[in-house]
Amino acid sequence: MGADARVPWADSLLELSKEEWLLRKSGFRRSEKHIRINETLLTLGNGYLNIRGSLEELPSGHAGGMYISGVYDKSEADVEELVKCPMWTDLSLWVEGQKFCLSTSRAIQHEQILDLKKGALHRRTTYRHPTGKILTLETLRIVMLHNQHYGCMLVRITPRNFSGPLRVFSGLNGGVCNRGYFPEELLKHLQLEKIERGRNFMYLEMKTREQEMRIAEAASWRLVAPPGQHLKWEPRIYGEKFTSEITLDVQRGKPYLFEKLSVVTTAREVPPEAMMKDAICRLRAFVRKGVQTEIRSHVSLWDERWKQADVQIQGDDAAQKALRYNIYQLLINGPPAPGGVGAKFLSSEGYLGHVFWDTEIFILPFFIYNFPDIARNMLLYRFNTLPGARENARRLGYAGAKYAWESATTGVDVTPRFASKLERTIRFIYTGAEEDHIVSDVIYGVEKYFRVTGDEAFLVDCGLEMIFLTARFWASRVIDSGERCEIRCVIGPDEFHEHVDNNAYTNALVKWHLKLAAMLFKHVGKSRPEVLEALSERLSLTRAEAAAWLRMSRKLGFRRDQKTGVIEQFDGYFALKDHVIDRFDREGHPVLPRGVTYRNIASTRLIKQGDVLMMIMLFPHAFTRKEIEVNYDFYEKRTAHKSSLSHCVHAIMGIQAGRRQHAYSYFMKTALFDLENLHKNTDLGIHAAAVGGTWQTVISGFGGFSIKSDRLVLKPWLPKKWESLSFSVRWRDRTVDVKVLHDRVSVLVHSLEDIELPLTLYRKTSRIRTNVLTELPYTAS
């Protein structure tokens, strides 16, 4: 499909957006890796359910899948995992007993196009069948944004050089399995509950085996044009598989248009006994309203979302396009109801669909600043899983609540005991037991949400309980060794070093967390005594407990080299063997120094990802420029970037440290992480933290934007080729439009009130009026 080729339904349904909004994947390569990378990148979704961009005929080597937020199951797996659900997108075309499939037919032309602006996946393939028959298949697939249960697939088939019978199948296949730990191992999480057919619908109801969560899928499949075409329709049920087969006599050169409409629900939204009736009613309503109407509503919601979320970079098309792709990923993964966001979003079974610290530290800020309701849903997941967090603490002999390093349905820790299948090695995993910084990472997200949105109801109803119970956990975990308080045997963000004492990142965050808890106790006691009284009674909280939090907070800290100012990552880190990264492979990835392997790396100062720099990133106002510089220069050289979470941290800190060329290159690595398959594992899913980190690098890195209590703070710096950077963020009930140029910024705060607000631009604070465009000069330093 050339740039100006028309999509089949361009006029009537959905025109392709402008080229800058399209991700094109042209040509077909049989390699499994390649097929799966495209499937990941071309995922569609709405945060309730997402579908990988698999080719409809599911060529051999595919890893197609549909994932529904929060639908996990364990059964015989090691731990609970996100369940692969039946996709409604399958389609197969047969002529003379042979299938048109990219595994067996030659592609004369093949392209998939993801339209980021409209959330739609287009495909156009012209196959040459082994019999010499040539046929063009065009599809348009949409997972509706405005109605999370709806999806549609429009299909146009044109026989190019033949006439005669053509069989076209589409159905619902319940026979899907998750991939297991070992190659070829399959884990079956779903069992058939019901499979039914009606005059014009198919219905499949599956149930997860252990948790007994039901999933209902209803679909209709019909020929829409040409009208009056004589055809044979045969719905067939084979065990857990439904196929709806249409046979018709096609004529060479003539297009045949089909339509599949689908509905997916779970027993979380509909009582189990009513699921079939409900799904069929929804399907009928969909058919009645018509796909065009639904697509219009879908596109208009996408327009609205982009209006808020788009970030414009003038002068750098590559950065702009990559950034938009990352924002697209965020937009299709915001949970429309309370729900966790996994480290691979809903794009695959990678990391078993589990929720990590990636969520609050890397992904949440985008939602806080753009769609606070979605951010709230993400935090409500943590609130709802507090009982699981309490159970985690209890099992380890601690008090309070300990958020799980890997979390799924209940919040009880589900970190696997052995290395995840992503890493392909068998080794024991200690993160579940030791990577405790997650507890405060969650609270960091809660505080940021409150600071930006001012949502006091959330703080009162949920946040305070989360903050107090987790503070109580720390108070039982922290050791008071006299002069200092210590946190022993942890893993910091750098997972190369396990069982370490006093990791600076963890200690700094816990110090902040305990202080926050103590201050809130005091503050709420004064401002809302009835709230504190009720909570204190329910949680048996006392003033003495809060006072102990403050004492511990004061005694927590980290060490630094007095001469150089470098912060020691954990006790004893400076005594480790010193190596720096000075070799890079052809793709620019760090190469471990000679003699260093993953077996002995813990005895060196080499680190997996930003750790001290992460700490500085979270508390930028607590460090001077000089401190940032020395720590950046020290740690950047010793970081192997073996995690997708690392590059954005180095981009943001590179800007703050004035190492700006580095910063741009780290930014592009983050932004292209999946688009260019940087770590060679995009086939296993999207790196959600890098996606959120891309957005943060632009807004808080290049834009230098943050909110400090009642004040806007800007410290921008733009790469040379960027002419300008524009974005818009939500702040309480206001919207702030920011445009950054190389020598000035313009800010417009839309608000219901006409008031003055402080804005700090580098070191200078001015007062700006709401609803008035203000331009201020600056010099980046």
Q: How far is the CB of 356 from ligand BGC (least distance, A)?
A: 4
Instruction: List the structure tokens of 100.
Output: 């048109």
Asked if 705 contacts 699 with a C-beta cutoff of 8 angstroms, the reply is yes
Report the residue number, 609 or 670, with the smaller CB distance to ligand BGC. Answer: 609
Using the minimum distance from each CB to ligand BGC, give the nearer residue, 13 or 645: 645
**DSSP conformation letters of 562-625:** TTT-PBPSSTTGGGSBP----EE-TTS-EEPPTT--TTTGGGBS-BSS-SHHHHHHHSGGGS-H
Q: Identify whether 138 is a catalytic site residue.
A: no
The active-site residue, picked from 111, 391, 495, 545, is: 495
- Would you call 49 helix, strand, or coil by DSSP? strand
Q: How far is the CB of 391 from ligand BGC (least distance, A)?
A: 21
Please say which residue, 440 or 609, places its beta carbon nearer to ligand BGC: 609
In the complex, which residues of this chain contact ligand BGC (CB under 6 A)? 343, 351, 356-358, 493, 495, 608-609, 643, 645, 689
- 533 membership: H or E segment, kind and range: helix 529-539
**Cβ contact 774:760 at 8 Å:** no
Report the C-alpha gap between 713 and 706 in whole angstroms. Answer: 5
Q: Which of 370, 386, 380, 372 is nearest to 337 (CA)?
A: 380
One DSSP character per residue, 301-327 reads HHHHHHHHH--EEET-HHHHHHHHHHH
- How remote is the C-alpha of 623 from its chain's centroid? 30
Nearest distance, CB of residue 405 and ligand BGC, angstroms: 8
Instruction: Tell me if 358 is assigned to a ligand binding site.
Output: yes
Q: At what angle do helices 437-453 and 372-384 cross, to 10 degrees?
A: 140
Closest CB to ligand BGC among residues 324, 608: 608
Taking the complex as a whole, the smallest distance from the CB of residue 212 to ligand BGC amounts, in Å, to: 29
Annotated ligand binding at 608? The verdict is: yes
Give Rg (Cα) of the chain.
27
Closer of 52 and 608 to ligand BGC (Cβ): 608
Q: Structure tokens of 596?
A: 């260093």
* DSSP 8-state code for residue 428: B
d(CA 144, CA 140): 12
Least distance (Å) between residue 509 CB and ligand BGC: 14
Minimum distance from residue 217 beta carbon to ligand BGC (Å):
30
Amino acid of residue 9: W
Query: Could you tell me the CA-to-CA distances from 359 to 356, 409, 462, 494 in Å, in that order?
Result: 6, 15, 18, 17
- Least separation in angstroms between CB 79 and ligand BGC: 15
Is residue 55 within 8 A of residue 352, CB to CB? The reply is no
Q: Which is nearer to ligand BGC, 609 or 706 (CB)?
A: 609
Task: Give whichever of 117 and 641 is closer to ligand BGC, judged by the CB atom.
Answer: 641
Query: Which residues are catalytic, by number?
Result: 495
Residues making up the binding site: 357-358, 608-609
Residues making up the binding site for substrate: 357-358, 608-609
